[in-house]
Structure 1
C-alpha cells in the first residue's frame, strides 16, 4: 500500500482535492440557491434535488470545460510555439511535430514502446500520436455542450420566476449569460498558463519538474529541476 501511494501520490492528492472541492461546492452552492428560492417564496432544495438541478450542473460544468480547453490549447500551442528560457517550452530548434527518431515511433521505437508506437504510419498510430489532444478536445466539447444545456435550463428557471419569457437553446448560445459564464472562466485559464510559462523563466521552485534547476540560467529552455 505504501508503495502504491508513493507511486501514485500526485494523482491521488489532486483527486482528493477535487472531491473535497466538489463537496464544498455542493454545500455552499445549495445554501446560496436555497437563499434565492426562499427569497422568491419557493421551497428550498434538499441535497438530492440540488445535485440533480441545472443550477449545480451549470456551475460544475462551466469550470470543467474551461480546464480542458486550457490543456487542449496548451498541448497544441507547445507543438509549434516556444518560450525562450521556460521549462514549459520545448527547445527553440524543436518547433513542430519532430522526427520519428525524436518521437521514438515506427522503426525508431523500442521493444518496450507502446504497441501503436511500434506500428508504421496509419490511422491507428495517428490516433495514438494525438490521443491526448483528442481526449482533451472531446471532453472539452462534451462539457461545453452539457454546460449550454444545463445553463439554458437554469437561466429559464430564473426567467420564469421573474415572469419573463424563456429562451430556446439556440437563443441561449448567443446570450450574454452564456458568454459571460464562459469567458470569465476562459480568461482566468489563459492568464494562469501564460503566467506559468513566462514567470518560470525567471523564478524557481526547488525540486519541482515544473521549474528549472535553481542555478540554471534564465535563458535555459526546456530544462527541468
Structure 2
C-alpha cells in the first residue's frame, strides 16, 4: 500500500468530516450571499459581490455562532463525562469509575510507558495541564468563537439599525440584547439536546461496527462498552 492511500485510510474520519465542513461552509456562503442580496434589493440598496459578502459581519456572525455552540458541546461533554454517568450507555464510563481515576489507570507519572507522551511522564504543572488539555483547548475555542460572535453580531446588528435609520448601540449593550441571546441560546439548546439524546438512545439502540454504539448483542445495561 502506497504512502498516500495509507495516510488517507488512517486519517479518513478527520479527512471526511473536514471535507464535509469545507463543502458546507462554501454552500452556506453561496446561500447566505444570495439571501443577503435579496434583502438589500428589497430595501432598494445595491447588492454586494460574493467576495464582498465574505467580508461582511452578517457572514461572520452566522459562522461563529455555530462554531461556539459546537465547541461548547464538546467542552461540556469532555468535562462532564469525567463525573457524570449514564447506565447502559457507551458514551459513559462504567458506574464505579466516576472521577479522574488513579495515576496507574491513566498511565501518568511513574506509571507512564516509553510510548506515553512526554508530559504524561512529567510531574507538576506540565502533567496537570496535559491531563486536561483536550477540555482546556475546547473551552478556549468556545470562548474565542463566542467572543467573535458577539463582536460580529454587534456589527451586523448595528448595520441593520443604520439601514433603518436607527441609532447604533455599543458592544456592551449588545451583550445584553435579545438578539445576542436569541442567537446564542437557540444553538445551545440544540447542542445539549443532541448530547442528551445520544447518551440515552445509545442505551437501547445499536449501530453495528461503530465505536459510538455497543455491540449489537450487548445487554441494555452494559455501560462503557464500545462495538
Same fold (TM > 0.5): yes
The whole-number CA distance in structure 2 between the counterparts of 1:18 and 1:180 is: 24
How many corresponding residue pairs?
A: 224
Partner of 2:170: 168
Within the candidate set 97, 102, 110, 2:100 is matched to 97
Partner of 2:69: 66
Aligned positions of 1:1-225 closer than 5 A: 1-120=4-123, 122-225=124-227
5+ long unaligned stretches in structure 2: none
Instruction: State the Cα deviation string for residues 50-95 of structure 1 (Å, max 9, x = none).
Output: 1110000000000000000000000111001100000000010001
Shift of 1:47: 1.3
CA RMSD of aligned residues (A): 0.6
TM-score (norm 2): 0.98
Instruction: State the Cα deviation string for residues 199-223 of structure 1 (Å, max 9, x = none).
Output: 0000000000000000000000000
SS in 1 for 2:96: coil
The whole-number CA distance in structure 1 between the counterparts of 2:125 and 2:107 is: 17
SS in 1 for 2:173: helix
The whole-number CA distance in structure 2 between the counterparts of 1:181 and 1:208 is: 33
The whole-number CA distance in structure 2 between the counterparts of 1:23 and 1:38 is: 23
5+ long unaligned stretches in structure 1: none
Runs of 4+ in 1 over 3 A off after TM superposition: none
The whole-number CA distance in structure 2 between the counterparts of 1:75 and 1:147 is: 23
Shift of 1:2: 1.1
Shift of 1:13: 0.2
The whole-number CA distance in structure 2 between the counterparts of 1:212 and 1:167 is: 52
Shift of 1:48: 1.2
The whole-number CA distance in structure 2 between the counterparts of 1:45 and 1:170 is: 29
TM-score (norm 1): 0.99
